[in-house]
Structure 1
Amino acid sequence: MSVAGINVLVEETRARQAAATAPLLAIRDVSTYYGSVAALRGVDLEVGEGEIVTLIGANGAGKSTLMMTIFGAPQARTGSVVYAGQDITRLPTHAIARLGLAQSPEGRRVFPRMSVFENLQMGASLHGGRHFAGDLERVCALFPRLKERLQQRAGTMSGGEQQMLAIGRALMSRPRLLLLDEPSLGLAPLVVKGIFDAIRDLNRQDGMTIFLVEQNAYHALKLAHRGYVLVNGRVTMSGTGRQLLDDPAVKSAYLEGGHGVAAGA
């Protein structure tokens, strides 16, 4: 083999190794604005393949804005969002969804006049319903309550059931990366436990990569491999879930009924 051919092989090997070690999602120096108001300021974070990564912070910190920025609405004004090695910063939302990302948004946002079954069909429409029967069985095994409610209008279900449906609808698109925005918001403690148990099962049994935005810092950090703290649009702390749970500043601001600002802001 020629020297040129060997060099090509070396470069291809290096590229494969870099792809294997690169994070599935990389957010680099992202700033997002609403008009002239900065909602995110130079945010940097990563989500590795097979991880659960959580983002905690107070109301108004910019958590949901970051979720929406990943999906391109609004788009980052500066910085980049890279998914599976591809820069998706300027892609429209529908194109991003086709790459293997799915989101269960804050407030559930199910289609209230449609049945549970029809909502799940909407989630599967991205792939033309080719795997619908198997995916429906999988979602119903994860959330047995949905199987009992398939013909019920989504708007008549409880908040916890609607949250299960929102997550199930996202799963029907067969995502490689699942974004969950405040899945425990407004739910009873027993229901919250069920939701977090389901998230854990998705990661451990299916190997699904999950990026979780959550106000319930204790549950989120206990579940997560790694976490970030967002304060006024900036990431101020990061570490493993256990490290952040044990950090005095995080305990004071988010785990002991406090509403202060974590260290580093």
Structure 2
Amino acid sequence: MSAIEATSPAGEPLLAVRGVQTFYGKIQALRGVDVDVHEGEIVTLIGANGAGKSTLMMTICGNPRASTGQILYRGEDITHLPTHDIMSKSIAQSPEGRRVFARMTVMENLQMGAILEDDGYFDDDLRKVFELFPRLKERRGQRGGTLSGGEQQMLAIGRALMSRPKLLLLDEPSLGLAPLIVKQIFEVIRELNRNEGLTVFLVEQNAFHALRLAHRGYVMVNGAITMTGSGRELLARDEVRSAYLEGGAH
């Protein structure tokens, strides 16, 4: 671990990852990972492709399972819960690659993300998503698979927001998108955090945008956390700049 250590907010984290190891068969993907995400924070995890970032995100969601260690949400051990039980605890994920329902319309995709137990919030939640992403309102009758990459990313985030999450997990939201669209996506994330108090755990290869956005950050190398600090501290580190920021300041 680097000498830079982020000063975490006081109190129990909303999400706590403790000593998590994850394997794919005999290949170890995560090596004793520790991460804290406190309520109201944006925390980012950066690292090169293949470092294990998405594996951590998927392990939090229960697939694959952590071989050792604990994952705590609001103090509850969720390490071995089924994925659908984990996601029912006010956690939502916008996965890597977006994974919208290609044959469903934008509206149907958003309906799939909505809270099923109480539809009294639906109209209000839909209005908020359309305010954040006006393009989705314009495309509401269009099939998800015919949208542009940026529009699909907006839809994936909008679908996640329809479940009214307390914790939003974002996996590579900038992947494959034009710089202007990336800027728009990150501005929406900042707005949600600032205005709604939404807690965000963000996995990103685009270190420049992620660290500018985040309150705190972690650097992952070969399945292990090697550095942690505030977003500003990590942006200033020479080793972070040389490894992750070349060409990233768009």
5+ residue gaps, structure 1, are: 1-19, 259-265
| Alpha-carbon offset, residue 131 of structure 1 | 1.1
- Deviation string for 1:126-157 (max 9, x for gaps)? 44433111100010001111011111001101
| SS in structure 2 of the partner of residue 31 of structure 1 | strand
Query: What is the alpha-carbon distance in structure 2 between the residues aligned to residue 134 and residue 255 of structure 1?
Result: 39
Confirm whether residue 152 of structure 1 aligns to residue 142 of structure 2.
Answer: yes
Confirm whether residue 239 of structure 1 aligns to residue 229 of structure 2.
Answer: yes
Name the amino acid aligned to 2:172: E
Which residue, 39, 45, 63 being the options, matches 2:35? Answer: 45
Which residue, 189, 200, 203 being the options, matches 1:210? Answer: 200
Residue in 2 that maps onto 1:3: none
Which residue, 187, 190, 195 being the options, matches 2:177? Answer: 187
- Deviation string for 1:35-54 (max 9, x for gaps)? 11100000001000000000
Name the amino acid aligned to 2:230: T
Query: What is the alpha-carbon distance in structure 1 between the residues aligned to residue 241 and residue 12 of structure 2?
Result: 31
- Deviation string for 1:178-224 (max 9, x for gaps)? 00000000000110010000000000010000000000000000000
Report matched runs for 1:213-224 at 5 Å: 213-224=203-214
Query: What is the alpha-carbon distance in structure 2 between the residues aligned to residue 43 and residue 116 of structure 1?
Result: 37
Distance 1:257 1:197, change over 3 A: closer
| Higher Cα radius of gyration | 1
Number of equivalent positions: 239
Which structure carries more helix by proportion? 1
Confirm whether residue 85 of structure 1 aligns to residue 70 of structure 2.
Answer: no
Sequence identity percentage: 71
Residue in 1 that maps onto 2:129: 139
Normalised TM-score (structure 1):
0.88
Runs of 4+ in 1 over 2 A off after TM superposition: 125-130
Whether the 8 Å contact between 1:28 and 1:80 is mirrored in structure 2 is yes
Greater relative contact order, per chain length (Cα 8 Å cut-off, separation 6+): 2
Residue in 2 that maps onto 1:73: 63
Query: What is the alpha-carbon distance in structure 2 between the residues aligned to residue 128 and residue 139 of structure 1?
Result: 18
Give the RMSD, CA atoms, in angstroms: 1.1
Query: What is the alpha-carbon distance in structure 2 between the residues aligned to residue 94 and residue 24 of structure 1?
Result: 19
Distance 1:35 1:222, change over 3 A: same
Query: What is the alpha-carbon distance in structure 2 between the residues aligned to residue 77 and residue 214 of structure 1?
Result: 24
| Alpha-carbon offset, residue 82 of structure 1 | 0.2
Whether the 8 Å contact between 1:121 and 1:129 is mirrored in structure 2 is no
Report matched runs for 1:48-127 at 5 Å: 48-127=38-117
Confirm whether residue 178 of structure 1 aligns to residue 168 of structure 2.
Answer: yes
Whether the 8 Å contact between 1:127 and 1:173 is mirrored in structure 2 is no
Query: What is the alpha-carbon distance in structure 2 between the residues aligned to residue 236 and residue 95 of structure 1?
Result: 31
Query: What is the alpha-carbon distance in structure 2 between the residues aligned to residue 50 and residue 231 of structure 1?
Result: 26
Residue in 2 that maps onto 1:31: 21
